[in-house]
Every structure is written in structure tokens, then in C-alpha cells.
Structure 1
Amino acid sequence: MVLPASAAGFDTCLSRLRQQAVKAGVSERTVNAALGSVAFDEKAVRFSRAQPEYKTPIWDYLAFLVDKERIADGKAMLRKHANTLAAVEKAYGVDRYIVLAVWGVESDYGQFHGDFHVPHALANVACAGRRAKYFRSELIEVLKIVDRGDVRLSDLKGSWAGAFGQTQFMPSTYRRLAVDHDGDGRKDLVNSVPDALASTANYLKKAGWVTGMPWGYEVKLPKGYKGPSGRKRKASVTSWGKRGVTHLDGGRLQGDASAGLLLPAGENGPAFLVFRNFDAIYSYNVAESYALAISHLSDRLWGAGSFATDWPTDDPGLSRAERLGLQELLLRAGFDIGEADGRVGQATREGIRKAEARHGLPVTGRPGRKIYEALGGR
């Protein structure tokens, strides 16, 4: 990608951003330190302009977000941070397993924070990406966070869009909802696990979390079900029962609680009644697949098993370890996909397409079990 405007135009935009930040109350010292060395970042701008070319099937999405490794690591973190999680649950009324699951999905329990220096990325997308006004505002917010002393400038690693910290807050969300749970006078979601977990619970509480209510549960549809569905199409549990929906064991559904019927893979896949708390989780990343991953991981962390109903596919998704293994197999087979890092991007998908063609499989570019096993994976 080439710079979409002249170098002089980019520099002019940066100068304007610096002036706006100072006018908004950010110290010149912080502005100079954060923006003094900003240069055009092709990767950040490309990500901000990219249109999704590939829609991940729900069984792929859950296969790598809720894998054995993340469950085992989460249970270890549950033991290590038991006191903090119990205190957070008591203070905010949000299920500790949900908070733990958000931490696990957002940063792999603090192991991965992001590839970008947040002020640099936000300055780039504010000057050369889409939604300039929004990202300009987020840039000023993150500089204010540094100015307050909550987070050091050098610790601001995050996404191209500006989300950062152990549970990936956008700067404006950070300002509204971050809390100082460890009592050190700083709201530090980067280095303080207590602050990060409590801030996530605070977010979910403000999003409408109802203490003591489940996110939802898997149910069984009547054969040939053609009735209403969708997270937003709420009805009482009893009403769903009258439509033939039952508990997994066939037991009758009863209750006044309002629920939606979620069918993430259609009527032939797993079905779920989801309550208000599912909506609160949904608001964290505005995606039903994300909310289901958080919900399912939370269940697995307290000891529940996999879904009772299989996904409607003969080519299941791969765990993170298997995705890395697939890349290694592709390289071994002579497909140039770059480095094996477990992340499935454009190069890996192109390698999968070529491998599928070689092995007589439908050409999809999907990191599925069929191509994994065709290449020798077990």
C-alpha cells in the first residue's frame, strides 16, 4: 500500500492532532513523547481499511478460542487468582467464570496484548484510515490516560484500533469504566490483574448484568423446527417450551425469564436459550460468536463439558496447536506461507487452497480437519 495522501499531508495531519491533544488538556510533554516519532504505518492503515473477505464458521471460531490449552490455562489462573476473582464477583455481582473467560479470550490471560504501539496506530488511522473523527478522539483519550499516570507510554501495546490492556479496553471505555481495584491509586489494566478483572466486571455490570442469572443454556429443538429465533426475539422460557423447545433431556421448559433462541449454525446445529447476561457479554465485542465463545469457555472453566449437539459439518475446526501444526505441515509440503506462528492469515489460506487442490479436496482456504489430516496431521 502506498501512502494515500502526500507525506506533507500526513505530517500536517499529525501536527493538527498534536494541537488538538494539547487543546484537549494533554500535556505537551506527553504529546511530544507519544507522537514525536510517529511515521506512516502501512499495516495499521491497511487493517483499518480492510473489508472482511472470509467469514469464520462458528465451529472454527470456537475450536481455537475454546481449546484444551485455554481451558487448562484458565483453570490454573482460577487457582492463582482465586481471591481476586472472588472479591471482584462480590463487588460487582458478575460471575467470576465469565470475567475469567473474557481475560482468556482477549489476551490469553495476559500473555498477548497486541502488535501495535497504540498512540502510533491511532495517529495513523486518524490520519489515513476510516472513521477519522472517532480514532482522533480515542487517541486523545489514550494520551490522557498516560497523562494521569495510569499507564506508562511504553506499555501501550494493543490492536491497530486502539484496544489495549489485559482485557482490551478502548481508551474511551477505559476512561468511563476502568477501576483501581488493587488500591495503588492507578487504573492500570496493563500491569494489574486485579484492575483488569475488576474493570471487566464493572463493564459487564454497567452493560446490564443480572447477578445470579445464567448467560443461557443449550436446549433441544423439535424435529423440523421452523419457529422464531434470534437473540433479540425474546419470549418467556415457558413460551419457548410451548413451541416444542425442551431441555436436552427432553424435560419441559418453564419459567418467566425472557430469553432469545440462538441458532448459530441453523436449526441443525446446537441451540441455546440466551438471557440478559448474554446480551451484556455481546456488548463487549458486538458479535454473537464472541459472546457464545465467552459463555462456553466460562462453562468449561467451572467443569461443564462440550455442547451436546454436534456442529453440522463433516470438517471440524482446529485448535490453536493444530493450526500451528497445519502451518508446519504446509511448509513441510513445500507451500510458501511464511513463518508458522499459529495465526491464519492470507498467506496461510492461499497455501491451504493449493494443498486442497493437490489432495483433491474442495478448495476453501479453511484451516479444517480434512486438510490437516490429508497433510499428515493426527
Structure 2
Amino acid sequence: MLNFTKKLLLSGVAGMMVMSGATAAMAEKKSFDEWLLELRQEAREKGISDEILDGALKDIKFRKKVVSLDRKQPEVTQTFQQYMETRLPQSLVDQGRKQLQAHRAVLEEVGAKYGVQPRFIVALWGVETRFGKYTGGFHVPEALSTLAYDDRRADYFRKELLLALQILEERHITPDNMKGSWAGAMGQAQFMPSSFINFAVDHDGDGRRDIWTTKPDVFASAANYLSRSGWKGDQTWGREVSLPAGFDTSLVSLDVEKPMAEWQEIGVRRADGRDLPTRQLMGSLVQPKGGNGQTFLIYNNYRTILKWNRSTYFAMSVGHLADRIAGY
């Protein structure tokens, strides 16, 4: 009994210490306004002017909605077929074809410069923002400040915030017009600030890399991202295939890569039963979750799309939209 009582006392002391530590940690956390003052000083040391800091950070607030969206990103519960039906309606395909035709001259110019087929540029544009229709209505400096102040991914978003301020300092966009998603992805290309710094292009030569309103800049920036991420302009993304009975499912993996002839030899065929192409591309087999066994033989360009967004569904939707825009 004495030992039991001692354990209870010790447990209670430990609990109070934990609570006391948590309370102290909360007390030590600076207010958002105090944190913002320190951020401003760091930005000044990196060359950001007071003019830009005042324009970007004046009157901004800690937005609980942004934190809530970051905390509660919905898991994909749709099957592959449901996702594709929702994300790639015929209306999107029809609009994609119109956009390809309307901007064909600049798309072909950009495509030739960066080695990226125009249909894929248009497909990315369509999947990301419905051809610029939905780019997000959040004030990017405020959203990034909120996420940088929050504890979950503070270091990452602090870096993105400082880069966003650099973009403003370089006069590519004004503070009031720097709009994007709750996570800070900006413009018609939905670039995070780091992606903007690394890949955005001033294609029209006006001195600004404008991924918000200038379509040639949007197209060139997307193509530059793909090109520098390993895109092959003489290849497609992949194709649906069929597998023979008793196929070794351990081979269905991005970690397994074989030349076309080897896949042909072990019974993999096009979806309609025809032989695989004779060109010896390296490929891997992918089965999207909830895809009712649908299998795709994917190539280098599929992997490159994954560098843009690490979602299988996203990469598949871009590839399929590009094919449907082209009438494949």
C-alpha cells in the first residue's frame, strides 16, 4: 500500500511537471505581433526594403482558417475512377482543346525552347487552376506568415515567406496582388515562392515574371519547371496496359524499372491486347489505389510530373488530360 501511494504521488508530481512545462512553453511563445517584428528584422537583413515590408505585412493577422486547412487536409477517399470523372469532365477536355488552339503560337514557341509538348503545358494549367480560373484568394504573405508562426512546419514556411518577400522586392507582383492558395501556392502555375525563384520565367520580356496574369510567362514557367526536372520532349507519360493471368504483383512498383522488351516478354500488353511499342523506353508499372486493377506502364515523364506534385492521382490526371486534349 505504501509503495502504491508513493507511485501515485510520484505520478502526480510528474504530471504537474509536464503540465508546468507545457504552460511554460506556451508562455514563452511570442505573440504573433512580436514574432512579426523579428521576422521583419530578418527580412531587412536579407535586403528587403521597408516599403515592401510595410506593403506586404501591414495589418496582416494570424488566420486560424489557414491553420485549420493545413491541419485538416482531406485524405483522398475517392476511387481512381471517381477522381478522374470528377477532375477530368468532358467540359475540361473541350476547354483544354480551345486553349491549346487559342494560344498555339506561344505554346509551340515555348515548347520548342524548353522541349515540352504544348499539350502537357495546357494539361498542367488545366489541372492546377482550370486554365487560370481558380488560383486561390488568399493573401500569400499573410497565409505564409500564419503558417510560419504556427509550429507544425514553421521552418519551411518561414523560408517560403522570406522568398515571397524577395519576389515582391524584385517587383514581379505588388503586395496586394500576391494572391494564391492557403499554403502559399501562387498564380496560374500554383508555384510556391521557392519554385517561383527557381523556375519562373519572364517570357514576354517586360522585366517581370508574372505567373498571375501573363499567359506566356505562365506557360514558359511551367515548361521550364518540367524541363529542368528531367522532362523528355520526345516521350509521352505512359499508357494503360493489361497483365497476364498469374502476373507477379511485386513487379507493380515505381522501384521496378524494365525496358519495353522485358515487359513484353513477361506478358504485358497494351490495354487492347496489342503488343507494346518497340521503342525501348524504360518503364514501371503503376496501379492507382482504388483503380479496380487498372494498370499503367509509366515512363520518365510521369516521374517528372511527380516532382511537381507527389500525388499519383495528380500525375495520372495530367497525363490523361494531355492525351485527351490531343485526341489520343
- TM-score when scaled to structure 2? 0.87
Shift of 1:161: 1.3
Residue type of the partner of 1:39? K
Select the residue among 251, 269, 287 that pairs with 2:311. 287
1:21 to 19, 35, 43: 43
1:44-78: CA deviations, max 9, x gaps? 01122235455332222211221112111111111
Q: What is the aligned partner in structure 1 of residue 20 from structure 2?
A: none
SS in 2 for 1:273: strand
Report 1:274-353 matches (<5 A): 274-304=298-328
* 1:233-252 alignment, distance < 5 Å: 233-252=256-275
Contact 1:48–1:129 (Cα < 8 Å) also in 2: no
Residues 91-170 of structure 1: pairs in structure 2 closer than 5 A: 91-170=113-192
Aligned residue in 2 for 1:317:
none
1:180 paired residue number: 202
Question: Aligned residue for 1:337?
Answer: none
Question: Does structure 2 retain, via aligned residues, the 8 Å contact 1:84–1:194?
Answer: yes
Match of 1:332 in 2: none
1:202 is aligned to: 224
SS in 2 for 1:240: helix
Aligned equivalents of 2:226 and 2:73: distance in 1? 29
Note the residue ranges of structure 2 that are not aligned, 5 or more in a row.
1-24
Matches of 1:294 and 1:38, distance apart in 2: 36
Judge conservation of contact 1:166–1:190 (CA < 8 Å) in 2. yes
Deviation at 1:240, TM superposition (A): 1.0
Q: State the AA in 1 paired with 2:281.
A: A
Corresponding residue of 2:293: 269
Q: CA 1:27–1:169 in 2, change beyond 3 Å: closer, same or farther?
A: same
Partners of 1:91 and 1:243 in 2: CA distance: 39
Structure index of larger Rg: 2
CA distance in 2, matches of 1:91, 1:241: 35
User: Contact 1:225–1:267 at 8 Å: present in 2 too?
Assistant: no
Paired residue type of 2:124: V
Quote the Cα distance in structure 1 between the aligned partners of 2:134 and 2:41: 33
- Alpha-carbon distance change, 65 to 5 in structure 1, aligned in 2, over 3 angstroms: farther
Question: What SS does structure 2 have at the residue aligned with 1:231?
Answer: coil
In structure 2, distance between residues paired with 1:217 and 1:290: 15
State how 1:366-377 maps to structure 2 within 5 Å.
none
Q: Which whole-Å deviations, capped at 9, do the CAs of 1:291-321 have from their partners, x for residues lacking one?
A: 00000000010112xxxxxxxxxxxxxxxxx
CA distance in 1, matches of 2:163, 2:232: 30
C-alpha RMSD of the superposition: 1.9
Asked whether the equivalents of residues 74 and 101 of structure 1 are also in contact (C-alpha less than 8 Å), the reply is yes
- Determine helix, strand or coil for the equivalent of 1:232: coil
Report what 2:245 is aligned to: 223
Alignment equivalent of 2:88, drawn from 60, 66, 80: 66
Q: How many residues align?
A: 301
**Amino acid aligned to 1:292:** M
* Counterpart contact for 1:45–1:129, Cα < 8 Å: no
Shift of the alpha carbon at 1:80? 1.1
Structure 1 letter corresponding to 2:69: F
SS at match of 2:262: helix
How far apart are 1:248 and its partner, in Å?
A: 2.6
| CA distance 1:17–1:56, change in 2 (3 Å) | farther
Taking the aligned partners of 2:195 and 2:31, their CA distance within structure 1 comes to: 30
Deviation readout 1:190-236 (Å, 9 max, x if unpaired): 11100011010000001100121111111111134333112232111
| Cα contact 1:141–1:175 (8 A) shared by 2 | yes
Assess if the C-alpha contact under 8 Å between 2:80 and 2:291 holds in 1: no
SS in 2 for 1:230: coil
Q: Distance in 1 between matches of 2:248 and 2:99?
A: 42
Preserved CA contact (<8 Å) 2:136 2:181: yes
Distance 2:292 2:143 in 1: 42
- Pair 71,273 (structure 1): closer, same or farther in 2 beyond 3 Å: same
User: Whole-Å Cα distance in 2 between the matches of residues 114 and 214 of structure 1?
Assistant: 30
Higher relative contact order (CA 8 A, sep 6+): 2
Larger mean Cα displacement after TM superposition, 118-127 or 208-217: 208-217
Q: Unaligned regions of 5+ residues in structure 1, if any?
A: 305-378
Q: Helix, strand or coil for the counterpart of 1:272?
A: strand
Match of 1:346 in 2: none
